[in-house]
C-alpha cells in the first residue's frame, strides 16, 4: 500500500516505546535463571521474526495474487513509500504472539513479543535503508542493500530475507553474484 511520509515513518516512532513496554514486563529482580530465560525469549522472538519475514516475503508477497499485485508495485517503484499501514504489524504481533503466550507464561510472552517487534523494526529500517541510502557506510547495510537489489534485479526469485540473508541460505534461495550495476 502506498503511504505518505507521515504514515510511512509512524511505525519507526511507535514501535520503540511498545518494545520498551513489553520489556517492562520482564522480571524486576533478574536472577541468573530468569534473566537468561527473558533474554532467550527476546532473542527467540527476534529470530522468529526473521523467519516470518522471509516466509511472508517469499510465499505471500510473491505468490498470493492480491498481495503479489501490491508487492509488484514496490518492485516497479522501489523508492516509493510502500508499506503496511501504521500499527498493523504491532497489533498483529501483539494479538498473535503476546495474547496466546500470555496465558501460558506472561514473562516469556512479553520477551518474545518484544523480540519480534524489535525484529519488525529492524526489517522496516533495513528495507528503507536499502532503497534510500545509495552508498551505505556500515558493512551490514552494504551487504543488505546488495542482497536486496539482487532480489529486485532477479525478479523476486532469490534473496527474500531483508534484515538477514540467513534463511535464504537455509532454504537455498541465496544469490550473491553481482552481474551488473544497480541504479536504485
Per-residue pLDDT band for 92 (boundaries 50, 70, 90) equals very high
121: which 3 cell numbers?
523494526
Residue 184's pLDDT band, with cuts at 50, 70 and 90, is: very low
pLDDT level of residue 181 (50, 70, 90 thresholds)? very low
Q: Which residue, among 89, 59, 63, has the nearest Cα to 161 in the 3D structure?
A: 59
Q: What is the pLDDT of residue 28?
A: 54
What is the spatial distance between Cα 62 and Cα 74, in angstroms, rounded to a whole number?
A: 11
Domain regions of the chain by residue span? 5-135
pLDDT confidence of 155, banded at 50, 70, 90?
A: low
DSSP H helix total and E strand total for the chain: 8, 0
pLDDT at 180 over 50: no
pLDDT above 50: residue 126: yes
Residues 6+ apart with CB under 8 A from 90: 11, 14, 15, 18, 117, 120
Model pLDDT, residue 34: 63
Q: Give the pLDDT confidence score for residue 35 in this predicted structure.
A: 66
pLDDT at residue 27, as a whole number: 64
Taking residues 148-169, report their average pLDDT.
Answer: 85
Following DSSP, what letter does each residue of 91-145 receive, concatenated?
HHHIIIIIHHHHHH-HHHHHHHHHHHHHHHHHHHHHHHHHHH-SS--SHHHHHHH
pTM of the model: 0.87
Please report the pLDDT score of residue 178 as a whole number. 57
pLDDT tens track for 95-115:
999 999 999 888 889 999 999
- 44, with CB counted inside 10 A (0-12, 13-18, 19+), is middle
More confident: 78 or 54: 54
Q: What span, in angstroms and rounded, lies between the C-alpha atoms of 93 and 113?
A: 7
Q: What is the pLDDT of residues 160-173, one digit of tens each?
A: 999 999 999 999 98
Amino acid at each position: 500500500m502506498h503511504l505518505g511520509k507521515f504514515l510511512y515513518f509512524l511505525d519507526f516512532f511507535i514501535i520503540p516505546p511498545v518494545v520498551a513496554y513489553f520489556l517492562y514486563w520482564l522480571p524486576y529482580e533478574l536472577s541468573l535463571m530468569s534473566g537468561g530465560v527473558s533474554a532467550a525469549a527476546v532473542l527467540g522472538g527476534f529470530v522468529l521474526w526473521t523467519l516470518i519475514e522471509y516466509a511472508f516475503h517469499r510465499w505471500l508477497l510473491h505468490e498470493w495474487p492480491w498481495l503479489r499485485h501490491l508487492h509488484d508495485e514496490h518492485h516497479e517503484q522501489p523508492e516509493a513509500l510502500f508499506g503496511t499501514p501504521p500499527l498493523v504489524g504491532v497489533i498483529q504481533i501483539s494479538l498473535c504472539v503476546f495474547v496466546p503466550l500470555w496465558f501460558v507464561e506472561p514473562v516469556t510472552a512479553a520477551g518474545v513479543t518484544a523480540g519480534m517487534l524489535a525484529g519488525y523494526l529492524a526489517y522496516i529500517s533495513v528495507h528503507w535503508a536499502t532503497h534510500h541510502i545509495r552508498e551505505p557506510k556500515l558493512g551490514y547495510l552494504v551487504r543488505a542493500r546488495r542482497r536486496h537489489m539482487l532480489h529486485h534485479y532477479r525478479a523476486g526469485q532469490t534473496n527474500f530475507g531483508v534484515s538477514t540473508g540467513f534463511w535464504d541460505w537455509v532454504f537455498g534461495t541465496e544469490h550473491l553474484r553481482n552481474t551488473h550495476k544497480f541504479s536504485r
